[in-house]
Amino acid sequence: MSQVMKRACVIGWPIEHSRSPLIHGYWLERYGIAGSYEKIAVTPDAAPDFIRRLEANGLVGCNVTVPLKEIAFAAVVERDASARAVGAVNTIWLENGRTLGANTDTYGFMTHLEQSAPKWRDADRPVVLIGAGGAARAVAFGFLEAGVGEVRVVNRTRARADELARQFGPRVKVFDWSRFDAATRGAGVIVNTTTIGMKGEGVLPVDWCTPAAGCIVADIVYVPLLTPLLVGARAAGFGTVDGLGMLLHQAVPGFEKWFGIRPEVTGELRARLVADIEGT
Ligand code: ATR
């Protein structure tokens, strides 16, 4: 009997920049799965219909990237807890013909942090999030679920940080952008969730005298791999966590749902992505 070829994809507008096919293509090859994973450009107007018709179009599911994540959130039939916390969906699969939308950024970030800097939990110190957009909500949800007592949010636009604090409750404290050093004072983890530092754009005003000894500094930006924030943190003697690991780990749950194997984030996969990033 011939095997049915399972098809998944990533949708976005534009979609050319997506590195997801590199990740899923690697796993399909590694596990010898008869499946495909392609990029499909879908306009915001066409996205709800595309998502409702996934199964009719012969797809087992898809990833969703900018600017379609909020549209996908509205279009799916059911949403997981992280998608509800973030208000955005980046992974869709089918369950009994119904579309289920997940946000795997929380899982991706927390898994990578746990694996590359397990000591982050040792000291019960505040976690500082720079930014208050969708990525910040995904990361805030992860730390709050992990039981962190204080998550500080510092954002250029104060109102968005206030909104995040309203959503997540009293463990979230808001700091003005002009009080950056107060936000980072005594911090055990600092995470940049903004695009600052991407391709060398902008620098974050962190005073490296303020974090606690042993502070872990993470960035969700992965182009370049070593952002100015991570360079500064290393020079000051702090441990760092790059953004590439989050990208790799956030892909795991979708692949497992679509193709039935929980894939491994290997050194070889990471090396392929690093080569691609360094070639840009
Ligand atoms: P995402 O969903 O990827 O997190 P977003 O919702 O557009 O994207 O959020 C982007 C975040 O980066 C915001 O916190 C934004 O700050 P504002 O709320 O003030 O817009 C932040 N950001 C982007 N560019 C920035 C810059 N040049 N300086 C400071 N913050 C910046």
Average pLDDT over residues 77-101: 97
Say if strands 6-12 and 91-95 run parallel, antiparallel, or are unpaired.
unpaired
160 Cα–ligand 1 center, Å: 10
131 Cα–ligand 1 center, Å: 6
Average pLDDT over residues 61-75: 98
Which pLDDT value is given to residue 1?
Answer: 44
**Is ligand 1 within 6 A of the CB of residue 156?**
yes
| Owner of token pair 């499909």 | 40
**Protein residue whose Cα sits closest to atom 11 of ligand 1:** 194
Say yes or no to pLDDT of 120 above 70. yes
Which pLDDT value is given to residue 264?
Answer: 98
DSSP string spanning 228-254?
A: HHHHHHHHTT-EEE-SHHHHHHHTHHH
Q: Going edge to edge, which strands form the sheet with 35-41?
A: 35-41, 6-12, 61-64, 91-95, 98-102, 78-79
Q: Around Cβ 3, how many Cβ atoms within 10 Å?
A: 8
**Protein residue whose Cα sits closest to atom 22 of ligand 1:** 194
Which pLDDT value is given to residue 4?
Answer: 80
Which pLDDT value is given to residue 279?
Answer: 87
Q: Around Cβ 97, how many Cβ atoms within 10 Å?
A: 9
Which pLDDT value is given to residue 202?
Answer: 82
Catalytic (active site) residue 257: no
**Is ligand 1 within 6 A of the CB of residue 174?**
no
Which pLDDT value is given to residue 123?
Answer: 86
Can you read off the two tokens belonging to residue 118? 């397990």
